[in-house]
Amino acid sequence: MKMSKLVLLAIAVIAIGIFALPSTVSLFSGQHRWYNISGTGNEIPCIKCHADIYDEYLFTGVHGTLSGGSNSWTIGDEPNEACGACHRTAYEKKQGWTYGSGDGVDSTPGEEAHAASTVACMACHEFNNAYGAPAAGGFSMPFNNSSYVDPVSGLHFDYTDGTHPGGHAAHQGFIEGAINFSRMEDANEACLGCHTYIPVKINWTHARNLEFNATYNASLNLPPTHFDTSDYEANGSVEVTSYGNYTGGANTTAFPTPVAIWDS
């Protein structure tokens, strides 16, 4: 009885082997067919692994031309070109960074990055950028420092030029806080927070109340006003949390649903 079971098991194993082994000698299908990367630019289909990003990009309202689209909000037929435009070409043009390219004797090994690097939005959207992309004008130079350097990328970005000095940007502090925060490059947290569909939760700490002195002044010649006001202060704090979902929906108790584009 025991012997017969052993025989049966052996037959089963052989049977499986006949069908499965030819495919599993090579662990994955296609693993011995390499992409042609003999050209100079990126020829790897990024979206194969980043289908989620591709899906997001399919509905984007900006950057359509990077994939060959006829305008910003129309996606072209070359989505991988768009990946490369930001994650390779931006720093190639700005800093002369070298990414891996080509093959054989004419290949170039990557230096600062192999296939792709993280990228600061300002790499393309600074003033006098090599891309000719629209400059994100209206901000002052971060920290009032004309030679500031992003601590993540180690690069400087021109937030101003001679005719775009900023000075009244309500989001200047947002930009500077984002630069100081090293989760992403430069001010990307701020750029993405406003310009993309990421849900945003902000713990706001507002000043609670306005305080000032009102002091009687007999000589005040603004009849019938007899009080000088001075020493204006914003005192105390009130904490409010702002939740905004990907559509721009908002409230102060919880994320409106669906929260992310992947929840819908």
Partner 1 sequence: MKRGMNSGRLLLLAIAIVAVGVFALPSTVSLFSGQHRWYNISSNENQIPCKKCHADVYEEMMSMEPLSKKLAGKSSSPHSYMDENCELCHRTCFNMSYNPSTGKYEPSSGFIYASGAGTGSVSGVEAHAASTIECMDCHGISTDSGGGKWNHYGYEEYNGRCYLCHGGTGFYRGKDITVPFRDYADFISAGGFGLGTTGTDTGEHAAHKAFVLDSINDTKMEGSNEACIACHTSIPVKIRWTHGRSLEFNASYDKGLVLPPTHFNTSKYEANGTVNVTSYGNCTGAANTTKFPEPVTVWG
> Of residues 127-156, which lie at the interface with partner 1 (CB under 8 A)?
127, 134-139
**Binding residue for partner 1 (CB under 8 A) from 62, 108, 112, 146?**
62
Sole binder of partner 1 in the list 45, 61, 109, 151 (CB under 8 A): 61
With binding defined as CB under 8 A, does residue 56 bind partner 1? yes
Among 51, 108, 145, 151, which residue interacts with partner 1 (rule: CB under 8 A)? Answer: 51
Number of residues that bind partner 1 (CB under 8 A): 88
Contacts with partner 1 in 157-216 (CB under 8 A)?
Answer: 163-171, 183-184, 192-200, 202, 204, 206, 208-216
245 sits near partner 1 (criterion: CB under 8 A):
yes
**Smallest gap, in angstroms, from Cβ of residue 126 to partner 1?**
10
Least separation in angstroms between CB 133 and partner 1 = 8
CB of 108 or CB of 209, closer to partner 1 = 209
Contact flag: residue 114 with partner 1 (CB under 8 A): no
Q: Whole-angstrom Cα distance, residue 244 to residue 254?
A: 9
Smallest gap, in angstroms, from Cβ of residue 259 to partner 1? 9
Q: DSSP assignment, residue 85? A: I
Q: Which is nearer to partner 1, 21 or 62 (CB)?
A: 62
Residue 152's nearest CA partner among 127, 130, 122 is 122
Q: Are 125 and 94 in contact (CB under 8 A)?
A: no
Stretch that binds partner 1, among 2-10, 30-38, 57-65, 143-151 (CB under 8 A): 57-65
Question: Cα–Cα distance between 115 and 219 in angstroms, integer?
Answer: 75
What are 56's two structure tokens?
Answer: 């997001």
**From the list 71, 144, 147, 219, which residue makes contact with partner 1 (rule: CB under 8 A)?**
71
Nearest distance from C-beta of residue 46 to partner 1, angstroms: 10
158-166: Cβ within 8 A, 24+ apart: 158/126, 158/127, 158/128, 159/122, 159/126, 159/127, 160/127, 161/127, 161/128, 161/135, 161/137, 164/127, 164/135, 164/137, 164/138, 165/140, 166/137, 166/138, 166/139, 166/140, 166/141
Contact 200, 171 (CB under 8 A): no
Confirm or reject binding of residue 227 to partner 1 (CB under 8 A): yes
Nearest-CA neighbor of 53 among 87, 28, 29? 87
* Residue 98 interacting with partner 1 (CB under 8 A): no
CB of 122 to partner 1, least distance (A): 12
Compute the least distance from the CB of residue 214 to partner 1, in Å. Answer: 5
- 126: closest CA among 90, 171, 168, 178? 90
